[in-house]
Amino acid sequence: MKSALCYGDLNTWGYDPVTRRRYLPDVRWTGVLAARLGPGYSVIEKGLNGRTMRWDVPIELDRNGLAHLRPCVESHNPLDPVVVMLGTNHLKRRFDLITSDIAQGAADVAAIAHRFARTADDAHTPVLLVAPPAVAQLTEFDQMFAGAQDKSRQLSHYYRLAAGWHGLPLFDAGPVAVPSDEDGIHLDSAQHRVLGEALATEARRLLDGTVRMGITCGHSS
């Protein structure tokens, strides 16, 4: 059996914008991915609500994704593949980051995952970098994510550039999944299903060798 690791933040964790709780395992995109990949795969869910790429946040402790990455990867090796979707939390006003820095940070995390993740044959594990969906109309998070809508529309472009610098395959989730009208940030159950199905297709292409490192795949812009 192969193991696929999904490393991400709020939407990988599965935050429900209506109940403000976590979706059930089979509703989350990671659960949909597992169902589509089938019994030959074990999908390891490592989503954390509030996770950053590499920054500590005083008001949200232990959210540094880079600090958690290597022990997470090495504790679950062998892996085939790894999916990294990070960056939405860095659209928060408190970070005051330009979009290219967000993309570079996400690509850095994916590249480090590629460095330490190993297959059963002790080869480097394929790592798929995912550009997160753009932010929709904000409601309750309007102050926290002030200015995020405009920035998020640039994610696709800069993630593609950053993935190319590291030779990573990129999947653009923007044309696939749209955040809920409830808050403009989190995906509803239908969008989790769509994203999980699309990523299952990309994961199979990556493992089959149809997608090579350094190639933009899936729904690119």
At 41-95, the pLDDT tens digits run 999 999 999 999 988 877 777 899 999 999 999 999 999 999 999 999 999 999 9
In this predicted structure, the answer to whether residue 217 has a pLDDT above a threshold of 70 is no
Q: For the chain, what percent of residues have pLDDT higher than 70?
A: 95
Dihedral sign from CA coordinates of 30, 35, 37, 41: positive
Q: How far apart are the first and last CA of the chain?
A: 34
Average pLDDT over residues 152-177: 97
All structural domains of the chain with their residue ranges = 2-217
CA distance 38 to 52: 30
Q: How far apart are CA 211 and CA 75, in angstroms?
A: 27
Report the pLDDT averaged over residues 162-186.
97
CATH class for the region spanning 2-217: alpha beta
What 3-state DSSP class applies to 98?
Answer: coil
Determine whether 65 is exposed, middle or buried from the number of CB atoms within 10 Å of its CB (0-12, 13-18, 19+): buried
pLDDT at site 215: 46
